[in-house]
Structure 1
Amino acid sequence: MTPVRVGVFGLLGSGNLGNDGSLEAVLGYLRARHPEAAVDALCGGPETVTARFGIPATRLHWYRGEYRTASRAGAIAGKGLGKLVDVFRTASWVRRHDVVIVPGMGVLEATLPLRPWGFPYSLLLLCASGRLLRTRVALVGVGAAPIGNRPTRALVRWSARLATYRSYRDTQSRDAMREMGVDTARDEVHPDLAFALPTPPVNGPDKLSVPPGHVCVGVMAFHGGDDDRARAEEIHRRYLDGTTRFVRALVADGRRVRLLTGDRCDAPVVAAILDAVDSPLVTAAEVASLADLMTEMAAADSVVATRYHNLICALKVGTPTLALSYAAKSDALMDRMGLATYCHPAREVDADRLLDQFRALEKHSAELRQTLAERNVTAARHLEHHFTALTTALFPTADHAHTSRKAP
């Protein structure tokens, strides 16, 4: 039999650990349930994806400067030509596959700055090509949110409508797509795909360069959402100042602080905090995957974090966590894991109030660890159901063969 040809699509290998973690979870599912599948990627960082995950990968955009600001005539012309070339490149790639999976990620939201002719346009090309060429396109465990920008909203809405299969990482995402005019009657909600990743052992072989009993603080190059462009620098300054004051207060209490990131663009925030606090009690971790983040967070007493997948890593290893929430998805995640009380707005970081919430978090550490252990068991069970549903929807022949093998 010819192996089923599966493509994975997205801003993968581009420096965002959460995106790559979602890919890792989907590849784990494919290798466990569909080991015969031939898998390759159309993605933002093909060299990284091939080196790390061992699958062939093609660059998402023909024009290499797609995500750089175009100010000169040559760059503007290159971007314009690239949009046209990508129509044919995307269709040609989709045509070579039986199934294309978009693994997790917030591909149907604009909670961070987003241009309509960037990734939303690429996603529409993918879903339209799938419909025209009869290739099944699945948006698996994706995030969605209300979108104010009309062109972006239209591109996202049509992408979702043209997809063969959709599932979401929280109820708010499904509700947002319904409000945008997408029929979500058959769409399911499951925990984020990253909850399917293996949890590193608490006392694993890797030795951290910080003693136990520290606090992990996950930071982010946060400038607000797509609708906050006019206030982006003000929002970032307020976030950085509040977070720095909080770290300084922890150090004044004699606490060791470990700074973590989730994307390569977060490095300047780490550097700014290290420079402002200037204490040997504050160190920065070098992380290259969600597994690295989980290893760091499992060794901590508690975690305060901003990025969505930083939160997931902390919750998954059962460490009491306080969210610097920048979008409804963070609030929904914390509520689902039983920590709804421990959210603080990233746009208005009040170091004094944050410190009070942090102390309350640590006071209830033992019971929160028990709650997280129970919620993680539930999340794992739901994801098993999710992957079974995905096989039924995308691999009907394989699902039938699997059922037949199990029959007496």
Structure 2
Amino acid sequence: MRIVVSGYYGFGNGGDEAVLEAIVGALRARIPQAQVVVLSAAPDQTKSLHGVAGVSRTTGALPAIAGADLFISGGGTLIQDATSARSALYYLGLLGLATVLARATMVYAAGIGPLRRGWLRMLATEVLNRVTLITVRDEDSRRLLQELAVRRPVQVVADPAFALDPVPATEVRDLVGVPRAPRIGVALRPWRDGGFLEPLVDGLRAACREIGAEVIALAFHPERDLAVCVQAARAMGGRALAGLSPREMMAVVGALDLVVGMRLHALVYAVACGVPPVGLSYDPKVEGLLTRVGVRRLLPLPSLTAEGVRREVRAAWDERHAVRARLAAQAVSLREAALRAADLASILLASRAGGKEG
């Protein structure tokens, strides 16, 4: 049995690698006999990191998809045109091919949208109406599919990374150090002209003075994020961490007292580990996650002010004990929801196998 997985894999983005690790782990637990093949920008690296067969996401895609028992698109926000039309066209193109060449197809815990271009919206409707099984990670994605007139049943699950387990805290103790003071994690990425950084740093610096906290900047996609993380950390007398595996980064987040994040998976890890999050909202997925867990600590980047940052971070600090208790219950249900996508994939494959045998 062969399962082919397509996503933004092999590019060094810690969030996407966390999604892949969680998907592969969940599938292996349920379908141990399956061979998992991943379409990757760095096939050898993907094979080494995840113990799967890695093939080129360009030249290796067609041979891998042909005859596959299941083609999975996801997770992550793949079908969107916020950055360019190319991303949505690539993933919809592969999914469309798979509806013809593979035995079954699945959208796995994906974020969908935004889709602004009319022709891409029509293409998405056409392709997704041919997919065997659709699961999305949030309610906003379900609503967009409904708006696009996707008639296939759509099930809302949760981001696959909610099913990850961090490495033991002892394995990251040297990275985070002895807690001499409260620790605030800041997960940044480049955005527009970088004008958000000055008010963010000024506001965080003021909040840290009031709380007596230190800052640890977390680079989830080092190639893109490290420079801005180092710049912010230096400005606040903190330090930056990069180059960690998904489970190591999750353990680091779990050792913090508060997380301020642009990167979605910094906030996913925070929720999963019961660490109060503050979202830096540059994309609807950030607001969507925090709304789902009932923690509406959001700082919209376009209107960011130093005083707004100070006030929101201080408020999150003051309510941290109550929020931790709420997140503990949320984390359990989100983990179950994340694993439900793998359950559905397993049921789909079993039903197809049973149909062939009958």
Q: Same fold (TM over 0.5)?
A: yes
Distance 1:243 1:158, change over 3 A: farther
1:108 to 52, 57, 79: 79
- Equivalent residues in 2 for 1:230-379, closer than 5 Å: 233=193, 237-250=194-207, 252-253=209-210, 254-264=212-222, 265-275=224-234, 277=235, 281-340=237-296, 342-379=297-334
The question of 1:40 aligning with 2:33 is answered no
Residue in 2 that maps onto 1:127 = 95
How far the C-alpha of 1:386 sits from its partner, in A, is: 3.4
Which runs of no fewer than 5 residues in structure 2 stay unpaired?
Answer: none
* TM-score normalised to structure 1 length: 0.80
| One-letter identity of the residue aligned with 1:105 | G
Q: Distance in 1 between matches of 2:302 and 2:81?
A: 16
CA-CA distance at 1:348 after TM superposition: 2.1
Flag the structure with higher strand content. Answer: 2
**Displacement after TM superposition at 1:245 (Å):** 1.8
TM-score, structure 2 normalization: 0.90
Aligned residue among 130, 139, 143 for 1:171 = 139
Give the counterpart letter for 2:302 in structure 1: R
Report if aligned partners of 1:99, 1:394 keep a CA contact under 8 Å in 2. yes
Question: Which of residues 168, 191, 202 in structure 2 aligns to 1:222?
Answer: 191
Alpha-carbon distance between aligned partners in 1 of 2:308 and 2:129, rounded to the nearest angstrom: 43
**1:92 aligned to 2:89?**
no
Amino acid aligned to 1:41: V
Q: Paired residue for 2:21?
A: 24
Root mean square deviation, CA, Å: 2.2
Give me the whole-angstrom Cα distance separating, in 1, the residues matched to 2:352 and 2:272.
34
1:68-125 C-alpha deviation (Å, 9 max, x unpaired): xxxxxxxxxxxxxxxxxxxxx64332114111112311012234x12x2x33222233
Q: RCO (CA 8 Å, sep 6+): is it higher in 1 or 2? A: 2
Please tell me the residue identity of whatever aligns with 2:157. H
Change (3 A) 1:20 1:242: same
Q: Following TM superposition, by how much is the alpha carbon of 1:204 offset from its aligned partner in structure 2, in angstroms?
A: 4.9
Flag the 1:362–1:90 CA change in 2: closer, same or farther, 3 A.
Answer: same
1:239: how far off? 1.8
| C-alpha distance in structure 2 between counterparts of 1:193 and 1:11, whole Å | 14
* Residues 120, 155 of structure 1: 8 Å contact kept: no
Contact 1:217–1:304 under 8 Å retained in 2: yes
Q: Relative to structure 1, is the Cα distance of residues 293 and 246 closer, same or farther in structure 2, using a 3 angstrom cutoff?
A: farther
CA drift of 1:135 comes to 2.6
Q: CA deviation at 1:256?
A: 0.9
Aligned to 1:147: 115
Larger radius of gyration between Structure 1 and Structure 2 = 1
Superposed displacement of residue 39, structure 1:
1.4
Deviation at 1:387, TM superposition (A): 2.7
TM-superposed deviation, 1:9 = 1.1
